[in-house]
Structure 1
Amino acid sequence: MAEFIALIPAAGSGSRIGEDMPKQYCLLAGKPMIYHALNTLYRVDRITTICVVLAPEDIWWTRYDWGEFADKIQVINCGGVTRAESVTNGLKTLRAAKHIQDQDWVLVHDAARPGLSIALVERLLDQLVADEVGGLLAVPLADTLKRANDMDRVECTEPREQLWQAQTPQMFRTKLLLEALEKAPENITDDASAIEALGYSPKLVMGDTNNFKVTYPQDLKLAELILQERY
């Protein structure tokens, strides 16, 4: 039977957040940001392994106690320059060690999405477990989209019908995801884009606006409020 394995690429620096440490280690509700993603994924019973892919030169991870996740977590210092490289390296390392099989499901989740809930992960698993391709959490676009010209003036308004904002986790079979990432164009920004480049159509599963990606300093305050309500 195929297993469910979570993978968190956490090798980036998160320079836009304006902190003197990698974004995934910024404190939220008294814990490093990545803790909250780990805590949620750990409490999903169907997930058997959580792989965290760190940069080879990471000096921050060992400063914290991760013992409460010890029976599920695997830490690999094989992160790459890009997110896609980190995911690829992590999957190859897991497969070489025979910790993952070609038909196992991989849930790739951003370390900087601390608002993920157990209910969202369960919804993703339920809706994709029998799917031939896999898919991702996403939310329908609510805002009006403006396309700008080179002078930062509105060139046109883009229709938002049938547009969704991608989130994570994004869930695909190991073999398919590795093939997609190895053949993907250099400018892809998520795993679903790599799958799409192979000609597949990932399924969209309704997400939640609380599952947003912390990118800028002001995002930290909103994430803190969400986590305070949860804990």
Structure 2
Amino acid sequence: RDPAQMDPGRVSVSAVLPAGGSGERLGGATPKQFCAVQGRPLVSYAVRALERISWISDIVVVVSPENVQTMKTIIEKYCHKRVTVVKGGITRHRSIFNGLKVFAEKEFSSHLLQKPEVVIIHDAVRPFVEEDILSKVVMAAKEHGAAGAIRPLVSTVIASAADGCLDHSLERARYRASEMPQAFLFDIIYEAYQQCTNYDLDYGTECLHLALKYCKTNAKLVEGTADLWKVTYRRDLYAVESIIKDNLSQEVCVITSAKENVAQVGLLLPEFLKSQIKVEAVSISQNKNDSHLQNIFSGQCYNFVCVNDKMCAIQETQHLVDMLEKSDIPLLYPVVLI
């Protein structure tokens, strides 16, 4: 059976999100994962991309010790769920290892999370991961033990000699760029990290290589999409902002009252709108605690259609607009239709 066609919901899955980098190449005092894009930290977009997937049970975000409280504040502000914050190590591999320990070592965390069958490892600075590629790497890892997204090389890789002259070049068609997300049977990647030498923990960067080196597990390589790129330089933040604006301007939330005839209109609207715009959700509540309204307040959806059947309902709608104004979300192109 094709692993891509299997149901990841039948496999217990959790995710580890290393977010402890200093962002030296980005420049500036703020690490890139905490840089604001449309008023929201970059790491929050990556967390949201994972938590929107129902079959991912737990999300472990690993940050440097000095940023633990910052990350907890982000989780609270943007109402993230199923997220645990862990102190990272001095290198990427040590941070990932710390994230894995939360599932396996009681002494490492006050709250031991249930060990998953498959664990996803993704980057906090890759905010545009979709469910399709996550499903593919998870099911490939279930079958092969390890799997990772890849992309074609954009430039030819060359090696220089000691004198600074060209030594040789690699055949570009044969090689691929390793990307994220990656997924592993938990027992395999955890064993690999347990056996890892200090040199690999301090200087290594490739998780798939650890699974191969220490557990003899040949990872399945899964063709990734163009939006898996990593934010590295400041110009990348502008690209992220542009993509987010474009995505948000193409989504709408339909809000109605609970009255049967009005709710029916709200349920029919997506059929008429789907050729023009993505209907993110349909809510039959204007209560401020409604989960779909919370998405609007947290900046996850900017456009909404509010359906009422009486003029007196204008007060309810005005109250909704007032709540939006007080929520302090950055403005894009909010549209209210009454």
Is the contact between residue 148 and residue 180 of structure 2 (CA under 8 Å) also seen in structure 1? yes
Q: Identify unmatched segments of 5+ residues in structure 2.
A: 1-9, 249-338
Structure 2 residue aligned with 1:218: 235
- Is residue 71 of structure 2 the alignment partner of residue 69 of structure 1? no
Counterpart CA distance in 1 for 2:174 and 2:77 is 41
Structure 1 residue aligned with 2:114: 100
Match for 1:57 among 66, 71, 75? 66
Q: TM-score, normalised by structure 1?
A: 0.88
Match for 1:175 among 175, 187, 201? 187
Counterpart CA distance in 2 for 1:200 and 1:134 is 7
Post-superposition shift, 1:2? 4.6
Counterpart CA distance in 2 for 1:66 and 1:164 is 39
Q: Tell me whether 136-145 or 46-55 shows the greater mean CA deviation.
A: 136-145
CA 1:208 to 1:150, structure 2 compared with 1: closer, same or farther past 3 Å?
Answer: farther
Task: Name the SS of the counterpart of 2:173 in structure 1.
Answer: coil
> For residue 196 of structure 1, what is the amino acid of its counterpart?
L
Counterpart CA distance in 2 for 1:115 and 1:222 is 12
Post-superposition shift, 1:105? 0.8
Give 1:1-231 correspondences, 5 Å limit. 2-58=11-67, 59-64=69-74, 65-70=76-81, 72-76=82-86, 78-95=87-104, 96=106, 97-101=111-115, 104-129=117-142, 131-150=143-162, 152-184=164-196, 185-186=200-201, 187-198=203-214, 199-231=216-248
Aligned length: 227
CA 1:175 to 1:123, structure 2 compared with 1: closer, same or farther past 3 Å?
Answer: closer
Post-superposition shift, 1:56? 1.8
Post-superposition shift, 1:180? 0.9
Task: Name the SS of the counterpart of 1:139 in structure 2.
Answer: strand
Is the contact between residue 138 and residue 164 of structure 1 (CA under 8 Å) also seen in structure 2? yes
| CA RMSD of superposed structures (Å) | 2.1
> For residue 221 of structure 2, what is the amino acid of its counterpart?
L
Is the contact between residue 147 and residue 154 of structure 1 (CA under 8 Å) also seen in structure 2? yes
Moved over 4 A (4+): 150-153
Counterpart CA distance in 2 for 1:40 and 1:142 is 26
> For residue 25 of structure 1, what is the amino acid of its counterpart?
F
Counterpart CA distance in 1 for 2:112 and 2:72 is 25
Q: Deviations over 1:177-229 (max 9, x none)?
A: 11112323242102112112122211111111211111122222222222222
CA 1:10 to 1:227, structure 2 compared with 1: closer, same or farther past 3 Å?
Answer: same
> For residue 182 of structure 1, what is the amino acid of its counterpart?
Q
| More contact order relative to length (CA 8 Å, sep ≥ 6) | 1
Counterpart CA distance in 1 for 2:236 and 2:160 is 24
Post-superposition shift, 1:63? 4.2
Is the contact between residue 231 and residue 237 of structure 2 (CA under 8 Å) also seen in structure 1? yes
Counterpart CA distance in 2 for 1:67 and 1:219 is 23
> For residue 181 of structure 2, what is the amino acid of its counterpart?
P
Q: TM-score, normalised by structure 2?
A: 0.62
> For residue 205 of structure 1, what is the amino acid of its counterpart?
V
Q: Tell me whether 31-40 or 156-165 shows the greater mean CA deviation.
A: 156-165
> For residue 183 of structure 2, what is the amino acid of its counterpart?
M
> For residue 168 of structure 1, what is the amino acid of its counterpart?
M
The structure having more radius of gyration, on CA atoms, is: 2
Identity %: 27
The structure richer in helix per residue is 2
Task: Name the SS of the counterpart of 2:144 in structure 1.
Answer: coil
